[in-house]
Amino acid sequence: MNNGQPLKHRGVTVEDLLRLRSVRDPHYASDGMHGVFVQKSIDEEKQYCSHLYIWTEDGAVRQWTFGRWRDTRPRFSPDSKTIAFLSDRSGHTQLWLLPADGGEARQLTFFKNGVRDYVWAPDGTFLIALTTLGDNETIDDREEPKKKETKPADLKPRVVERLYYKSDASGFLDGKQAVLVCIDATSGKTEALTSREEEISSFAISPNGRTLAFVANRNEDPDTTFTRDIVLLDLESKAETNLTKGSGTFTSLAWSPDGTKLAAIGHDLAFLGATIHQLYVFEPERGTKRVLTADWDVHLGDAMVGDTHADAKGPGPIWKRDGTGLYVTASQRGRVNVYFVPLDGPIVPIIEGDFHVYGLAIHPNEQQAVAAISEPTMIGDLYTISLESGTKTRLTRVNEALENEVTFADAEPFTYQSTDGWDIQGWIMKPPRLGDGEKAPLVVEIHGGPHTMYGFTFFHEFQLLASSGYVVLFTNPRGSHGYGQSFVNAVRGDYGGMDYEDIMAGVDAAIKQFAFIDETRLGVTGGSYGGFMTNWIVGHTNRFRAAVTQRSISNWLSFAGVSDIGYFFTKWEVGCDVWEDAERLWHHSPLKYVKNVRTPLLILHSEHDYRCPIEQAEQLFIALKQLGQETKLVRFPDANHDLSRTGNPALRLERLRQIVGWFDHYLKGPRD
């Protein structure tokens, strides 16, 4: 498992989380002579910060911005002389400009609610930014200092009239709507380009600078209709054309070099939230639409689950310079790799291997690329890659000190059959210091989603468990991405059915295949859907000596009305609304089976989780306590559904200590 290499000095610890560095979002200048990327880290005060770094053609890397703030999404101007980026250094995330040869950054926007995203105009004279406006707010309203506390006299009731009124990512929406704004790059003068939109998720300017394409929710009832249309806006006349007219949901727009075609990632909602993403190409002038990946049963984009690069925004489709096709990332069998999709002809792998590509930039000469790559034993770095030979050269070594100090456990893939004969992929991580002939307890990890994917990427939590003496098993049961449309759709309407069988068959297969597993000491954990499945497992088997459920679902009947997505997700995934078939929802609810639970269960939940609200944990905890079962509820303040990935670092540390401590007590303590 360690490729015959001697063990280094120590294993992974909880505190190593604070030392992880994530390099992401590489971007070439148009001259190809240099590029820029972002490095995210945690500072000495346990706060996230991110800075811009420059690399040059000779491989030299220099830090370009400093300070205790978050600088993100850097993009060179078309003439390569200026770097635009987003930063919260003013208190809100705004758009800043920085000379590419060095100097002071200049704040370009001062919007009251900050900037969410932006693009350069092809001639570099202006930028288009996405902001939000509340009732009675305008683009001329300036940002205000963030209030540290609310005085009693300032308290007001929140009046809710919309079905969709809160978001796990944004909290209460309070009527804010999206607006695209044109900003002069020199003067900062602004002009609103769109009226208030319910939602804008992607936008791109045509190469001639005349047309803005953007994705918007143009439905009459935006809360209950889930198509997202591509709208074309003539920047001179302000005339709009709806290109897709409710035919699907789209994102990641990219104009062809000659401006005649518009690419997008999207799908037609044929399998609702379980529909795999495909590559579309539109020709607006001709009124045509093609799905280039219609015969490729692969999910486009990055479906990987991890805790180090989870918020890294991967690339959308990238056009080849001659307009004959596009470079895309795709998720397949636990890998996220890069492919070339031609307008006519077979799809070709470009950057392929057992790893996770979570960032990509193609050099203007298209002979090489820079990719952000992670592997189970390699935290993540940038590599220059020849697109002709495939040769990889490491550009950064941001985690080298830590990687040289600790011993990581490798993740060994294996395939097994479920109870109905379906092939399921899984991975085993063996404790690095486990001696020959020794056995170790097993912890089963179950991912969320469920329409996501485990695979070949670095996972600090898994490494921590392995270093703590646990064998770690993680699998992709049906419902996961990476194995085609039928596979990802198979869990819908069957939560706790064959997905449960897939996971338990994985436990059996691992015990049979790997002699170092102590089958008398089994643990299980997971978050979100993985939390649902952990709750389901302990209500249906007593094989596990300990379990940790995180940000979980326990009761579909109440989840439907309290989750930010519950009102549609419940029907999409389980198959009905509360008033249609309450018995069906109760049948799929782990709370129904709480009387069967004999496994000590640790319940971890964030108090501001609007995706799986904390009442789901409270119901389960109270029922277990009433029944006299071993349980503990740990509530994390000021944290949402993403605690384990992007939450407060101090709370992330405590979360990990709780997990390891629970398993240590019940799996390493004396047997009953």
Distance between the two ends of the chain, CA-based, in angstroms? 32
The answer, yes or no, to whether residue 544 has pLDDT greater than 50, is: yes
Q: Provide the pLDDT confidence category of residue 154 given band limits of 50, 70 and 90.
A: confident
Active-site residue (options: 267, 460, 481, 641): 641
pLDDT for 135 equals 87
Q: Which of 667, 672, 632, 639 is nearest to 653 (CA)?
A: 639
Report, in this order, helix, strand and coil percent for the chain, each rounded to 5. 20, 35, 45
pLDDT for 427 equals 98
pLDDT digits (tens, 9 = 90+) for 28-43: 999 999 999 999 999 9
Round the average pLDDT of the chain to a whole number and report it. 95
584 token code pair: 């069906």
Express as a percent the part of the chain with pLDDT over 70: 98
Q: Which residues is 593 bridged to in the sheet?
A: none
Q: Provide the pLDDT confidence category of residue 670 given band limits of 50, 70 and 90.
A: low
Distances (CA, A) of 152 to 149, 155, 354: 10, 5, 56
Torsions phi, psi for 402 (to 5 deg) = -70, -40
pLDDT for 7 equals 66
Residue type, 120: W
Kindly state whether residue 33 falls inside one of the protein's structural domains: no
Angstrom distance (rounded) from CA 80 to CA 35: 10
* Other CB atoms within 10 Å distance of the CB of residue 189: 10
Kindly state whether residue 35 falls inside one of the protein's structural domains: no
Segments forming the whole domain that contains residue 541? 408-554+589-667
405 token code pair: 């100090």
Kindly state whether residue 494 falls inside one of the protein's structural domains: yes
Instruction: Dump the DSSP string for 169-202.
Output: TTEE-TT-EEEEEEEETTT--EEE-S--BS-EEE
Kindly state whether residue 465 falls inside one of the protein's structural domains: yes
Instruction: Dump the DSSP string for 240-269.
Output: EEESSTTS-EEEEEEE-TTSS-EEEEEE--
pLDDT digits (tens, 9 = 90+) for 426-470: 999 999 999 999 999 999 999 999 999 999 999 999 999 999 999
Angstrom distance (rounded) from CA 14 to CA 664: 14
Active-site residue (options: 528, 554, 589, 606): 528
Q: Domain holding 471: CATH number? A: 3.40.50.1820
pLDDT digits (tens, 9 = 90+) for 613-633: 999 999 999 999 999 999 999
Helix (H) or strand (E) holding 214: strand 211-216
pLDDT digits (tens, 9 = 90+) for 245-285: 999 999 999 999 999 999 999 999 999 999 999 999 999 99
Q: Provide the pLDDT confidence category of residue 190 given band limits of 50, 70 and 90.
A: very high
Angstrom distance (rounded) from CA 464 to CA 467: 5
Is 341 within 8 Å of 361 (Cβ atoms)? no
Is 100 within 8 Å of 56 (Cβ atoms)? no
* Other CB atoms within 10 Å distance of the CB of residue 56: 12
Residue type, 70: R
Q: Which of 512, 540, 532, 525 is nearest to 616 (CA)?
A: 532
Residue 641 designated active-site? yes
Residue type, 476: N
How many structural domains is the chain composed of?
1
Kindly state whether residue 415 falls inside one of the protein's structural domains: yes
pLDDT for 6 equals 59
Q: Which of 130, 41, 122, 109 is nearest to 75 (CA)?
A: 122
Residue 528 designated active-site? yes
Torsions phi, psi for 17 (to 5 deg) = -55, -35
Angstrom distance (rounded) from CA 159 to CA 182: 33
Kindly state whether residue 638 falls inside one of the protein's structural domains: yes
pLDDT for 1 equals 43
pLDDT digits (tens, 9 = 90+) for 561-609: 999 999 999 999 999 999 999 999 999 999 999 999 999 999 999 999 9
Kindly state whether residue 153 falls inside one of the protein's structural domains: no
pLDDT for 121 equals 97
Q: Are strands 517-527 and 440-446 parallel, antiparallel or unpaired?
A: parallel
Kindly state whether residue 576 falls inside one of the protein's structural domains: no
The answer, yes or no, to whether residue 5 has pLDDT greater than 80, is: no
